[in-house]
Each structure stands twice: as C-alpha cells, then as structure tokens.
Structure 1
Amino acid sequence: MARRFRGSEEVKVDAKGRVSIPAKFRRVFEGSDPEWEAGKRPQLVIVFGTRDWKYLQLFTINAINEIDEQIAKLDRGSPRRNYLEHIYHGHSEETEIDGDGRLVLPQKLRDKIGLTDGAIFISGGDNLKVWSPEAYEEEERALEARVPELEPGADPLSLLSQPIATEG
C-alpha cells in the first residue's frame, strides 16, 4: 500500500505564494510519484474545485491517476462524469515541488481561498487540503455538525461500524 499523509501543519506563505512543504509530506509526494527519483522534483496536482470550495486539494500522482481511472469508467457524457471531469480535470493544475521543498501557489488560487500570509495543511490520506487559517477554523467548528449520528463525546471510530447509507 502506498504511503499516506498523516497530520497537519501550519506554514507561512511568502509574497510570491511559496509555501514550504514539510518533509513528512514531501516524502509522500515522492513515494507516490512513479517517475520520481533522487534529484528530481516530485510532481502533484492541485485541484481548486468549484466556486464554493474554501480549500485546495493537493493530490499525489498515484492518487490522481486512480481518480482519473475511476472517472474514465463512468458513462461518457453522463452528468456524474461531466461533473467530475469539470472538477478534477478542468479545475486543476499540474505542478511540482521545487528543489528547496516549496510549492508555488498561483495568485488566482490564493485569492480563491483567501490565503495571505499563512496556510494550514490537513492530511486526507492520499491528499492534502490547504486552507487559510480563518476558513479552517470555521470548517473545524462545522465538521461535527455534518455527522449527526455521532453523539457529543462519542468515539469517532464508532462511525466505522455503522452501515453506510446508499443512494436512493
């Protein structure tokens, strides 16, 4: 199984939009880029999503390839495929981590999520979400409200043993 992202980090954003990718996260990007080798720059894909997204998603090459394969299995022209292609192909950019371990976030993406001088990386297994500290604080407060079956103070792992609702 490929390495996964774990943890969170708050980093500075410089005037040129550069953010340092913590070493533990760089190792995952390197290990999940089939073409990476020592001395090369690890590749990744930034997905900026629809207008209501308040974050960016940084996907490893292996993860985005898996998503692309799943999208390709959907019926061509179907609403689901069109929507997913719109987000994961049309609202994304391929990029790389530079030799100093930094990622340049273009101005249009920083503006989209309100990123100024700081950013928060939140691990999501095969991706990292990049938030402005203010937007993440709001997200953190709203997170538990999205899981109504979790009683206050309950063990979050109890959600693993509950049946998953299917589309009707």
Structure 2
Amino acid sequence: MAGRFLSNATNRIDAKGRVSVPAVFRSVLSQQGIQELYCLQDFIYPAINIGGPDLLDRFERRMAAEDPFALEANEMSLLLHGGGVYMRLDAEGRLPVTEFIRDFTGISSEVCFVGRSDHFQLWQPQAFHEAQAKAREMVRMRGVRQ
C-alpha cells in the first residue's frame, strides 16, 4: 500500500554533514504533503523518529487525555517537547545530521533509514542490525510465525 514507510537503506553522510533521504521515503513524504519534519528521540531505541506534524499531534492527543499535572504527562512532555525538533529537507532531499541526531544515536559516517509504517527512523547501521536481530529472535522464541 502506498503512503507507508517500508524497508531500510543505509546512506553515507557527506562532507557538509548531510545525508540523502532514500527516494522511496521522499516519495511518501511528498504523497502525504509533509514538508516540515518532526524529529523525536525514540523512547526505547537509540534512534530518531521522523514524521510529519501528525506524529507530534498523535502523542499530544495522548497527553491531553492525562491529567496535565500528573507525573506521566510531565514525563511525556519532557520526552516529546524536550527531545524533539523540527527539520526540513534541503532542495536535493538531504537532511542535516545534527548533534541532536549524532549524540542520541551514535551515528558517525552512515545513517540507516528504517521504515516504521507512518514514520521512519534514523539509526547507526550496526545498532539497527543488532536490534533487528534481537527482535527477530524474540519473535521466534514467542512462537510467532509469518
């Protein structure tokens, strides 16, 4: 189905600290009319989640259902707002690999783009392959079949 971020690809960071977003991911962004990207540090993995403003909206709707003075709402705000930034691709479809991204993920020279259906992630390639292998093993141990 079109409009989903699927698969993964690894691209090198250029001398100016930018990385080309895979064409298939740019196509999904275009189909969805997304120009401004919301980038959020993942809650579990050393990865950056990237999507349109609806990604932030989804989490904020969940927060709005909580008591705004509750610890859970405060923690969520700390992660969503304190661990998120807006970014834009340049005219050639490149994303700046900022300290915000590098510090959280450990990315240095290459970025692994990972589709997650309604958003995508940036990973350090080896960390992604290790996490995917661990997830595959956990699914296998639970007996889930394709």
Q: TM-score range by the shorter chain?
A: 0.7 to 0.9
CA distance in 1, matches of 2:21, 2:136: 28
Equivalent residue number for residue 95 of structure 1: 87
State the secondary structure of the residue aligned to 2:19.
strand
**Aligned partners of 2:38 and 2:55 also within 8 Å:** no
State the secondary structure of the residue aligned to 1:144.
helix
* Cα offsets for 1:52-90 (capped at 9, x unmatched): 741111122223222222222221122221122111111
Higher RCO (CA 8 Å, separation ≥ 6 residues): 2
Displacement of 1:43:
0.9
Displacement of 1:147:
4.1
CA distance in 1, matches of 2:5, 2:109: 23
CA distance in 2, matches of 1:17, 1:117: 9
* Structure 2 residue 39 is the aligned partner of structure 1 residue 46: yes
CA distance in 1, matches of 2:119, 2:86: 14
State the secondary structure of the residue aligned to 2:117.
coil
Task: Give the gaps of 5 or more residues in structure 1.
Answer: 37-41, 157-168
State the secondary structure of the residue aligned to 1:15.
coil
Q: Which amino acid aligns with 1:48?
A: Q
Displacement of 1:121:
1.0
Equivalent residue number for residue 55 of structure 1: 47
Task: Give the gaps of 5 or more residues in structure 2.
Answer: none
Q: Which amino acid aligns with 1:88?
A: L
CA distance in 1, matches of 2:74, 2:29: 28
Q: Percent identity?
A: 24
Displacement of 1:126:
1.2
Equivalent residue number for residue 8 of structure 1: 8
CA distance in 2, matches of 1:54, 1:15: 24
State the secondary structure of the residue aligned to 1:3.
coil
* Cα offsets for 1:76-123 (capped at 9, x unmatched): 122221122111111000011111101112124213211111111111
- 2:98 aligned to 90, 106, 109, which one? 106
TM-score w.r.t. structure 1 length? 0.75
Displacement of 1:3:
2.3
* Pairwise CA RMSD: 2.4
* Paired residue total: 146
**Aligned partners of 1:5 and 1:25 also within 8 Å:** yes
* Structure 2 residue 37 is the aligned partner of structure 1 residue 32: no
* Max Rg structure: 1
